[in-house]
């Protein structure tokens, strides 16, 4: 990285002087930086930002500031921060009750009866009830759901359209008190549609509702997690309205994700549930994201463990750990069938059964107190958030210009630029060779570096060491002292910039609920040098300012 050449050739500026000059110049520089930060003509930049967000979650998603999860030492969840649990049904669980795929209403009814003992706060069945069932089976199912409802637990059922449950025929079904049981009274339909980022098909976003472009916001079928969260809220209607109001049809919130598995899952997982990918390891070995999620971040109970104690005798002689886990929790019942196809691609680029999509979304809503992270593009009055970006970049640009002015004012060498004596030494060395020879040699060397990535690391190390050695060998004491001053100045500016970025991230994430994709780009500006690429605009602006001054001078004199 080098600083730009001094603007000695430019005509004297008029407005771009002193403090006012720095303010205006930094504003111009920040505006250009903001433009390039969001310049996305073919979508390539967006992919990079999303992947950067995935890396943020992969490396830091276990930290409380990024994804506040229930502490592992907390046995029973509180009403304010209830636990979300996934219960997986597989072929073995079906076999324990003599059932088989597709999962019948009779089996679902049995599961509801078993879960009723555990007093969950809500149950969501991530199964489409589209297979034919007898009125008696349907009635049994509704009766169980009604018993849960009477006990204070709602039953949510996945549907693909609002009227899908109307097809359930329960005949003349009545509860124990003789009241007629109707589907709409005991089951709450919810959308289970998945959203993908179109460029890489990763399920990073969770939709607020399922609706068409023609429907007004708030009139679609609420997504499972959104409805379950708002139903548990003190003001369900207000909560639903707040989350869905003014959103575009395809709007969704970003799923914060943790690479660390839930501690409860360690009992059945062969992989460690506390394994966190290391950024250093990733940089060195190029394994940026985990290959598999063997221990999911949501507590998971296999239905076989519930139906057969010999599958899991660690839940306590009195089932105390089972009650600790499930009482007051939101239970998502999903399938874990080989080849079923109901899978999601997590932001860590691994796959999980689809039910985790909804479970993590609900956990996000609880974790962020009903204010999940929503991208700027899905916000109303989005210009506000870009203004915030501009403010942050303005500060960063001001720091950059302050450092640059200080350095050039004191005639200090740029920290990473070659000194004049070193340039002269290299020019003398290369000048002894025929021009054709050194050009061809350079081309061959660069070709090899391009073709063999391993040479790039080696080449960088060799070149840096050689240049540092050269500077130390031929530079004077004064040169080295200047270099050291410049380096200290650079580090100071970097630290200050990082502090600004940290503050911006905190405000953006905590208070503006912006996901990492909307602020991870700040980090590239913290390394001060990023602005160098755009300083040409300042030279241009200074020339215009000088011309403006020249035009104004005759008018003033006349």
Partner 1 sequence: MRALALAFAMALSFVGTVRAADPPADVCVMLNNRVLGPRTENRPLPLLKGDVEHGFTPACSVAWNALSPKNDALPVEGCFRGSLLQIPNDSACGTGTGKLWVGTRWVVTSADLAKGTERAAVCQQLETGAWAGTRAFSFECKPRARDLDTGATAPAGSQGRAADTRAVSAAAVPAPAAAPSKSDTPAAPNEPK
* Minimum distance from residue 103 beta carbon to partner 1 (Å): 13
Q: Is 289 helix (H, G, I), strand (E, B) or coil?
A: coil
Our measurement of the distance from residue 251's CA atom to the centroid of its chain's CA atoms, rounded to an integer in Å, reads: 15
Residue (203 or 486) nearer to partner 1, CB: 203
Of 57, 302, 388, 531, the one binding partner 1 (CB under 8 A) is 302
Q: Are the C-beta atoms of residues 183 and 170 closer than 8 Å to each other?
A: yes
Residue 114 as a binder of partner 1 (CB under 8 A): the answer is yes
Tokens representing 299 are 């507590």
Residue 113 as a binder of partner 1 (CB under 8 A): the answer is yes
Residues 345-371, buried b or exposed e (16+ Cβ, 10 A)? Answer: bbbbbbebbbbbbbbbbbbbbbbbeeb
Give the interface segment with partner 1, choosing from 17-25, 114-122, 417-425, 490-498 (CB under 8 A). Answer: 114-122
* Minimum distance from residue 327 beta carbon to partner 1 (Å): 9
Give the interface segment with partner 1, choosing from 94-102, 206-214, 382-390, 439-447 (CB under 8 A). Answer: 94-102
CB count, 10 Å around CB of 427?
A: 9
Q: Are the C-beta atoms of residues 353 and 343 closer than 8 Å to each other?
A: yes
Residue 134 as a binder of partner 1 (CB under 8 A): the answer is no
Q: Evaluate the CA torsion angle 169, 171, 172, 178 in order and state its sign.
A: negative
Q: Evaluate the CA torsion angle 35, 195, 164, 237 in order and state its sign.
A: negative
Of 317, 381, 451, 454, the one binding partner 1 (CB under 8 A) is 317
Residue 175 as a binder of partner 1 (CB under 8 A): the answer is no
Of 46, 282, 288, 340, the one binding partner 1 (CB under 8 A) is 340
Residue (333 or 395) nearer to partner 1, CB: 333
Residue (305 or 404) nearer to partner 1, CB: 305
Q: Are the C-beta atoms of residues 56 and 373 closer than 8 Å to each other?
A: no
CA distances from 450 to 170, 287, 436 (A): 69, 21, 21
Residue 35 as a binder of partner 1 (CB under 8 A): the answer is no
Of 240, 304, 364, 419, the one binding partner 1 (CB under 8 A) is 304
Spatial distance between the Cα atoms of 519 and 52, rounded to a whole number of angstroms: 10
Our measurement of the distance from residue 22's CA atom to the centroid of its chain's CA atoms, rounded to an integer in Å, reads: 35
Q: Which residues pair with 331 in a beta bridge?
A: 85, 123
* Minimum distance from residue 125 beta carbon to partner 1 (Å): 15
Residue 200 as a binder of partner 1 (CB under 8 A): the answer is no
Of 4, 38, 60, 97, the one binding partner 1 (CB under 8 A) is 97
Residue 416 as a binder of partner 1 (CB under 8 A): the answer is no
Residue 171 as a binder of partner 1 (CB under 8 A): the answer is no
Q: Are the C-beta atoms of residues 88 and 125 closer than 8 Å to each other?
A: no
Residue 351 as a binder of partner 1 (CB under 8 A): the answer is yes
Residue 28 as a binder of partner 1 (CB under 8 A): the answer is no
Residue 486 as a binder of partner 1 (CB under 8 A): the answer is no
Residue 312 as a binder of partner 1 (CB under 8 A): the answer is yes
Residue (36 or 323) nearer to partner 1, CB: 323
Q: Which residues pair with 351 in a beta bridge?
A: 345
* Minimum distance from residue 52 beta carbon to partner 1 (Å): 25
Site for partner 1, residues 270 to 289, rule: CB under 8 A: 270, 273
Q: Are the C-beta atoms of residues 57 and 257 closer than 8 Å to each other?
A: yes
Of 18, 41, 64, 98, the one binding partner 1 (CB under 8 A) is 98
Q: Evaluate the CA torsion angle 463, 464, 468, 469 in order and state its sign.
A: negative
Site for partner 1, residues 515 to 534, rule: CB under 8 A: none
Of 197, 321, 479, 539, the one binding partner 1 (CB under 8 A) is 321
Residue (363 or 389) nearer to partner 1, CB: 363
CB count, 10 Å around CB of 126?
A: 26
Of 81, 193, 233, 267, the one binding partner 1 (CB under 8 A) is 267
Q: Evaluate the CA torsion angle 200, 203, 208, 210 in order and state its sign.
A: positive
Q: Is 334 helix (H, G, I), strand (E, B) or coil?
A: strand
Q: Evaluate the CA torsion angle 479, 4, 394, 374 in order and state its sign.
A: negative
Tokens representing 216 are 């007004």
Residue 291 as a binder of partner 1 (CB under 8 A): the answer is no
Spatial distance between the Cα atoms of 362 and 356, rounded to a whole number of angstroms: 10
Residue 269 as a binder of partner 1 (CB under 8 A): the answer is yes
Residue 138 as a binder of partner 1 (CB under 8 A): the answer is no
Spatial distance between the Cα atoms of 40 and 38, rounded to a whole number of angstroms: 6
Give the interface segment with partner 1, choosing from 12-20, 101-109, 162-170, 215-223 (CB under 8 A). Answer: 101-109
Spatial distance between the Cα atoms of 484 and 306, rounded to a whole number of angstroms: 67
Q: Catalog residues that contact partner 1 under the rule CB under 8 A.
A: 88, 90-91, 95-99, 101, 104, 106, 109-110, 112-114, 116-117, 119, 137, 140, 143-144, 147, 263, 266-270, 273, 292-294, 296, 302, 304-314, 316-323, 336-341, 343, 350-353
């Amino acid at each position: 990285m080098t600083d730009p050449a001094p603007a000695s050739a430019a005509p004297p500026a008029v407005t771009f002087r002193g403090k006012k000059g720095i303010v205006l110049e930094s504003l111009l520089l920040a505006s250009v930086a903001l433009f390039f930060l969001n310049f996305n003509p073919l979508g390539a930049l967006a992919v990079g930002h999303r992947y950067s967000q995935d890396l943020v979650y992969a490396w830091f998603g276990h930290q409380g500031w990024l994804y506040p999860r229930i502490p592992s030492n907390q046995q029973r969840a509180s009403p304010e921060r209830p636990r979300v649990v996934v219960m997986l049904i597989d072929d073995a669980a079906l076999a324990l009750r003599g059932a088989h795929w597709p999962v019948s209403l009779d089996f679902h009814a049995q599961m509801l009866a078993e879960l009723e003992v555990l007093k969950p706060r809500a149950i969501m069945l991530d199964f489409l009830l589209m297979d034919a069932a007898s009125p008696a089976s349907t009635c049994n199912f509704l009766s169980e759901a009604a018993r849960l409802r009477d006990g204070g637990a709602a039953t949510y059922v996945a549907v693909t359209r609002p009227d899908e449950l109307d097809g359930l025929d329960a005949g003349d079904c009545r509860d124990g008190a003789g009241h007629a049981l109707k589907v709409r009274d005991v089951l709450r339909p919810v959308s289970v549609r998945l959203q993908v980022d179109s460029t890489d098909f990763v399920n990073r976003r969770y939709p607020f509702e399922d609706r068409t472009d023609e429907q007004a916001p708030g009139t679609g079928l609420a997504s499972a997690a959104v409805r379950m969260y708002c139903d548990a809220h003190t003001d369900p209607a207000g909560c639903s309205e707040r989350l869905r109001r003014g959103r575009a049809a395809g709007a969704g919130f970003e799923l914060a994700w943790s690479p660390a598995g839930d501690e409860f899952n360690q009992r059945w997982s062969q992989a460690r549930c506390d394994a966190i990918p290391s950024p250093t390891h990733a940089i060195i070995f190029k394994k940026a994201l985990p290959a598999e999620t063997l221990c999911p971040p949501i507590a998971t109970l296999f239905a076989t463990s519930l139906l057969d104690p010999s599958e899991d005798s660690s839940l306590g002689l009195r089932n105390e750990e089972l009650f600790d886990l499930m009482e007051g929790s939101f239970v998502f019942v999903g399938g874990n069938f080989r080849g079923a196809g109901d899978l999601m691609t997590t932001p860590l680029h691994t796959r999980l059964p689809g039910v985790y999509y909804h479970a993590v979304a609900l956990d996000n809503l609880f974790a962020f107190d009903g204010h999940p992270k929503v991208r700027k593009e899905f916000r109303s009055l989005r210009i506000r958030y870009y203004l915030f970006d501009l403010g942050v970049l303005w500060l960063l640009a001001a720091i950059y210009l302050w450092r640059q002015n200080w350095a050039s004012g004191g005639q200090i060498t740029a920290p990473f630029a070659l000194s004049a004596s070193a340039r002269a030494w290299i020019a003398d060395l290369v000048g002894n060779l025929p021009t054709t020879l050194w050009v061809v040699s350079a081309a061959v060397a660069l070709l090899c570096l391009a073709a063999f990535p391993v040479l790039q690391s080696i080449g960088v190390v060799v070149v840096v060491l050689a240049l540092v050695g050269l500077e130390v060998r031929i530079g004077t004491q004064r040169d080295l002292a200047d270099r050291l001053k410049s380096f200290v100045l650079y580090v100071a500016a970097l630290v200050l910039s990082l502090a600004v970025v940290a503050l911006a991230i905190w405000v953006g994430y905590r208070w503006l609920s912006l996901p990492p994709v909307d602020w991870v780009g700040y980090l590239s500006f913290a390394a001060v040098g990023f602005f160098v690429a755009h300083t040409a605009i300042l030279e241009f602006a200074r020339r215009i300012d000088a011309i403006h001054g020249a035009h104004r001078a005759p008018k003033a004199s006349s």
